[in-house]
Structure 1
Amino acid sequence: MIVELLKSQPEIALFVSLALGYLIGSIRFGPISLGGVCGTLIVALVLGQTGARIAPDLKNVAFALFIFALGFTGGPQFFANIGRGWRYGLLSIVEIVSVMALVMIAVVVMKLDAGTAAGLLAGAATESAVIGTASEAIARLGIGDAQVSAMQAHIVTAYSVSYLFGLITIVLFTSQIAPIIMRVNLREEAARLFRQLGGDGVLDDGQRLALPPLVGRAFEVGPAAGTLVGAFEARYGNNITIERVLREQRQIDADAQFVLQPGDLVFIAGRRESMVEASASLGTEVSGEGFTKLLAQRVDVMLTRRDANGLTLAQLRERASPEDGRGIYVGALTRSDTTVPALPGTTVHRGDVLTLLGSPTDVARGAKRLGYVIQQTQKTDFVYLGLGVLVGMMIGRLGVNVGGVALVLGTGGGCLLSGLFFGWLRSHFPVVGSLPSAAAQVLKDFGLATFIAAVGLSAGPDAIKLVREYGLALPLVGILMVLIPGLLSLWIGRMFLKLEAPMLLGAIAGQQCSTPAISALVGVTGNSTPVIGYTITYALSNILLPLMGPVVVGLATKFG
């Protein structure tokens, strides 16, 4: 009865796959969890034995929305990191070249078909989007429907097997094996790097500073009487700002030319370490109850200034005039939806989102000079979204023939490139194309999970045949396809690029598109310095690897 129900109403099988898959994917074994996508695929493969099938149109629409949203959100970071982040970007190239070479060796030695080869690439690189681009490429090979279905089933089966072993390998390699090879204490290295970048303490994962870095306090002016506000602030590196003065029960907004007098009550805001240093020069601290209508604003600003690309936060402040930078503080830095430590030595890139703190006037001035304010809207511009997907579909029809290998981007590759362009365009002309980050995340999560569930259900009995045919060979190849690129990147990054150990290991986790690996690294290091390297390679690999789907299908078809 259940089998007939699932066959007659396959939407039930779809949502059972999503619900159970994400439940299974959330189970953790130390730092390792399968994740919702892999969990959904496993459940869908089981339910696929009942004969439940999802209509191909739904599968194609879901993947088009996912891959466009992926390109849209990654566009600004992708283009920003092509030039400036070349040292980390080189590791993404190492990953792609070495993985493609290993896949082709496996194709020749093991006589793999194009589907199995693409599945190995997707699973070992932990990049689920390859499944979609490779599936489309197989559908365009001009072979029979039965062969197409069998090879697409081989993609998801090879992916599920190699993904599991590849995931465990990359987590253990970055957090445990690589530090032993480099002979470093990763926690001590991360603490040293944190201090070198201007941090004043080390945080364990999931914890917050009990002493916040930005504070506001009130003082009665004593030793500082007769001093210009601008001169006093400059004495402490402009890391503090006297925002307001209470004189004779009258509140005055202080500017740089304001002269402090004995008995003035001042409200001062800024970085805690500078505040502690300046407090003795100011006078006695008071409660500040006399101040009213003191406002602090927090806004997210996307950095678009060309001359700011590649500067550290400290250099950004130094290059701003005292008038332009006064009263503006960076409370957080987000890159590719990942929080990066906002330390003085942290390098910023175009496309980064800076969280500015300060008075409304100061923050508005800073946002205007740095980029544009990200409006907190919940509305999606469906004109922009629909046009972007349509352009992607048209691009996907383009193809070339290289050495007898037919390379066609397909809807997936086309929508990925279109998403990159439309995301970049949105970052430069923010008045059009609203796609809130929460909406983009839903498109990515639901689109990919729905696509994966659909292909898992359609795999059916072909999945079991592939596992019986190759046995332990698939897991072994998956492990090698993680270890060899990882060791190459470790050697190149350490010997030639001279990257710091925490950032290098973060970059290796990013080139592998592995969120569990960076989570494990942050837990081992005790702070978020590995994230700085992770975000750049993750942005590049997340875009470049899906484009390899049609390439590996074309090469495997010719040489397999």
Structure 2
Amino acid sequence: MIGELLTSQPEIALFASLAIGYFIGSFRIGPIQLGGVCGTLIVALLLGQTGARIAPDLKNIAFALFIFALGFTGGPQFFANIGRGWRYGLLSVVEIVSVLALIMIAVTVMRLDAGTAAGLLAGAATESAVIGTASEAIAKLGFGDAETVRLQANIVTAYSVSYLFGLITIVLFTSQFAPLLLRVNLREEAERVWRKLGGEGSFGEGQRAAAPALVGRAFFVGAAAGATIQAFEQQYGFNLTVERVRRNGANVPAEPQLTLAPNDVVLLAGRREAIVAAASSLGDEVSGADFGLVIAEKVDAVLTRRDLHGRTIAQVREQATPENGRGVYIAAVTRLETTVPALPGTELNRGDVLTLVGAKADVERGAKRLGYILVATQKTDFVYLALGVLVGMAIGHLGGRVGGVSVALGTGGGCLLSGLMFGWIRSRYPLIGSLPSAAAQILKDFGLATFIAAVGLSAGPDAIKLVREYGLALPVAGILMVLVPGLLSLWIGRMFLKLEAPMLLGAIAGQQCSTPAISALVGVTGNSTPVIGYTITYALSNILLPLMGPVVVGLAGKFH
């Protein structure tokens, strides 16, 4: 009865896979959480035994939207980190080269077909997008319909088997085993790095400091009397600003050249540590109520200046002239939708979203000097979106033979490259191509989940056969494909690149595109320093690994 219903109305099977799969994926055992995509795949494989199928057109459209949005959101960071982020980017190269070598060894030793090899790559590297790019590559090999369906089903089954073991391995390796190999106390190391970057405390994900980093306080002028406002602010590295001056009961314009007088009341705003240090040269603190309502503006600005890429927040402030930098403070840094600690020693990348705080005129001036203001909008430019997908489909028809191996990008690879290009253009010309982050996230989440559910339903009947054929070999191979690149990156990152342990382990989690691993790392370290390394390798691997899908299919087809 249920089988007939699902066969006649496959949309029920689709949404049942999404609902039950995301419910299962929400459960957490320690640091391990399957996630909605893997949960959806497991449920779809089970429901696929009933014969329910989703139309291929829906599957292709969903994947095209997902992969384009993936490239679009990652484009600015991807291009920003090519070359200048080479120390971390090298670890993504280690990941790509080592997993390709291991896949070819597995193909030779285990006699894997192209579908199983690609699924092993997708699962062990926890990169679901490989399923789509590899599936399209298999469809272009010229096999009959039955053989094509079988190989595509093997991708999904190998992915589902190796994903769980790859996920557990990367989480445990980065958060537990690697610190033992490095012989470091990860929490103490993270605390040391946090302070080295200019942080005062150690605050983990979801935690907030009881004393905020940016504050406003009012004082009587004491020993600072006789100094100009500019000289006073310069004394503390322009990390504080005299926003208001009250003299003899009346407000006086707080011009940089104004000389402070005894018994003036000044309202200071800026970084807490600077204001605390300045308090000793001032008089008693007062409530500041006499100044009336003081409004601090907060805007998000996208950093586009090439000369500021790789510079720390402190260096950016030092480089700015007093006129341009006065009253502007970076309260937060967002990179690839992940919050990076906004400490004086934090390096900035082009494409970062900087949350600026200060008076309205100051933050608007600062945003223009750094890049452009990210205007909050809920409208999507569908002309730009549709054109980007069309260009991606056109690029996907490109292909050829490399060293005797047939390689075709397909719609997935084409839309990924198109998304990169269109995302980069959007970052340079912000007046065109609006795709709000919430809309992009919906395209990524729903597009991937729908695609995964569709391929899971079609792969259901063949899943058990593959598991019986290879048994424990696939899980073991999945574990090795995490450990070997992880150990290589750990050795190279520590011995040659001299990376700090928290950033290095974050980078290893990023090269594996593992969000659970970085979450576990942040929990172990007690602060978000690992995120600094994670965002760079994640941006690179998230683009490079899906492009390896057709490569693995081509190589496996030749060697097998």
Q: TM-score, with normalisation over the residues of structure 2?
A: 0.99
Is the Cα contact below 8 Å between 2:133 and 2:547 reproduced in 1?
A: yes
8 Å Cα contact 2:44-2:460 kept in structure 1: no
Q: How far does residue 440 in structure 1 lie from its aligned partner after superposition? A: 0.4
Q: Show the counterpart of 2:13.
A: 13
> Comparing 200-209 with 513-522, which one deviates more in the overlay?
200-209
Separation (CA, whole Å) in 2 of partners of 1:415 and 1:34: 27
**Matches of residues 521-560 of structure 1 in structure 2 within 5 Å?**
521-560=521-560
AA at the equivalent of 1:8: S
**Distance in 1 of aligned mates of 2:53 and 2:302:** 43
CA deviation after TM superposition for structure 1 residue 289, in Å: 1.1
Shift of 1:393: 0.3
1:69 corresponds in structure 2 to: 69
Letter in 2 for 1:108: T
Q: CA deviation at 1:244?
A: 1.2
The CA RMSD over aligned residues, in Å, is: 0.9
2:359 matched residue in structure 1: 359
Question: Identity over aligned residues, as a percent?
Answer: 77
Shift of 1:58: 0.4
Deviation at 1:250, TM superposition (A): 3.0
* Distance in 1 (alpha carbons) for counterparts of 2:432 and 2:258: 42
Give a deviation string over 1:446-496, Cα, whole Å, max 9, x none.
000000000000102101100011010000000000000100111111111
Deviations 1:127-158 (A, max 9, x none): 00000000000011111011111111100100
SS in 2 for 1:127: coil
Which amino acid in structure 2 is aligned with residue 118 of structure 1? Answer: A
Q: Partners of 2:376 and 2:204 in 1: how far apart?
A: 30
Please tell me whether the aligned partners of residues 63 and 412 of structure 2 are also in contact (alpha carbons under 8 angstroms).
Answer: yes
1:519 positional shift:
0.6
Q: State how 1:37-76 maps to structure 2 within 5 Å.
A: 37-76=37-76
Aligned equivalent of 1:326? 326
Does residue 472 of structure 1 match 2:472?
yes
Give the letter for the 1:139 counterpart.
A
Structure 1 residue identity aligned to 2:103: V
Q: CA offset at residue 116 of structure 1? A: 0.3
Match of 1:462 in 2: 462
Tell me the secondary structure at the aligned position of residue 212 of structure 2: coil
Unaligned runs of 5+ in 2: none
Paired amino acid for 2:149: S
Output the CA distance in 2 between the equivalents of 1:423 and 1:519.
27
Task: Provide the secondary structure at the position in 1 that maps to 2:200.
Answer: coil
Q: Which residue of 2 aligns with 1:117?
A: 117
How far apart, in 1, do the equivalents of 2:31 and 2:489 lie? 22
Q: How much does 1:280 deviate?
A: 2.2
Alignment correspondent of 1:33: 33
| 1:312 and 2:312 correspond | yes
User: Which residue in the other structure is 2:202 paired with?
Assistant: 202
Aligned to 2:357, what secondary structure does the other structure show? strand
More off after superposition, 541-550 vs 494-503: 494-503
Correspondence for 2:212: 212
Query: 1:334 aligns to what SS in structure 2?
Result: strand
Find the residue that maps to 2:289 and give its secondary structure: coil
> Residue in 2 aligned with 1:232?
232
Question: Which residue in 1 is equivalent to 2:484?
Answer: 484
Equivalent residue, structure 1, for 2:280: 280
- 1:221-257 Cα deviation digits (max 9, x unpaired): 2332222000111111111100111234433341211
Determine the C-alpha separation between the residues in 1 that align with 2:470 and 2:163. 16
Read off the aligned partner of 1:545 and give its amino acid letter. L
Inter-partner Cα distance in structure 2 for 1:321 and 1:462? 66
Counterpart code for 1:31: P
Relative to structure 1, the CA distance from residue 253 to residue 387 in structure 2 (aligned partners, 3 Å threshold; closer, same or farther) is farther
Out of 278-287 and 337-346, give the one that drifted further: 278-287
Find the aligned partners of 2:384 and 2:424 in 1 and give their Cα distance.
Answer: 13
Question: Equivalences for 1:127-138 in 2 at 5 Å?
Answer: 127-138=127-138
Deviation at 1:294, TM superposition (A): 1.5
Question: SS at 1:262's partner residue?
Answer: coil
In 1, Cα distance between the equivalents of 2:86 and 2:226?
A: 51
Name the aligned partner's letter for residue 310 of structure 1: G
Give the whole-Å Cα distance in 2 for the aligned partners of 1:322 and 1:44: 60
**Unmatched tracts of structure 1, length 5 or more:** none
Determine the C-alpha separation between the residues in 2 that align with 1:485 and 1:253.
60
Give the letter for the 1:70 counterpart: L
State the SS of the aligned residue for 2:434.
coil
CA displacement 1:495-519 (0-9 Å, x = unmatched): 1111111111100000000000011
Counterpart secondary structure, 1:83: coil
Distance 2:465 2:550 in 1: 24
Distance 1:435 1:107 in 2: 41
Amino acid aligned to 1:502: P
User: Which deviates more, 218-227 or 162-171?
Assistant: 218-227
Q: Deviations over 1:240-285 (max 9, x none)?
A: 1001112344333412111222232221101111111111212111
Distance between the aligned counterparts of 2:278 and 2:403, measured in 1?
Answer: 70
Distance 1:419 1:108 in 2: 35
Residue of structure 1 equivalent to 2:270 = 270
Report runs of 4+ in structure 1 exceeding 6 Å deviation. Answer: none
Provide the residue aligned with 1:372 in structure 2: 372
Letter in 2 for 1:526: G
Tell me the secondary structure at the aligned position of residue 84 of structure 1.
coil
CA contact (8 A) 2:99 2:481 kept: yes
2:317 is equivalent to residue 296 of structure 1 = no
- The alpha carbon displacement at 1:400 in A equals 1.3
Q: CA deviation at 1:369?
A: 0.4
Q: Deviations over 1:339-374 (max 9, x none)?
A: 111111111111111111100010011000000011
SS of the residue corresponding to residue 301 of structure 1 reads strand
Q: What CA distance in whole angstroms lies between the structure 1 residues aligned with 2:456 and 2:148?
A: 14
| d(CA) in 2 for partners of 1:9, 1:172 | 42
1:247 to 2:252 alignment: no
Task: Supply the distance in 2 between the matched residues of 1:216 and 1:365 (Cα, whole angstroms).
Answer: 21
* Paired letter, 1:364: E
| In the alignment, structure 1 residue 407 sits paired with structure 2 residue 407 | yes
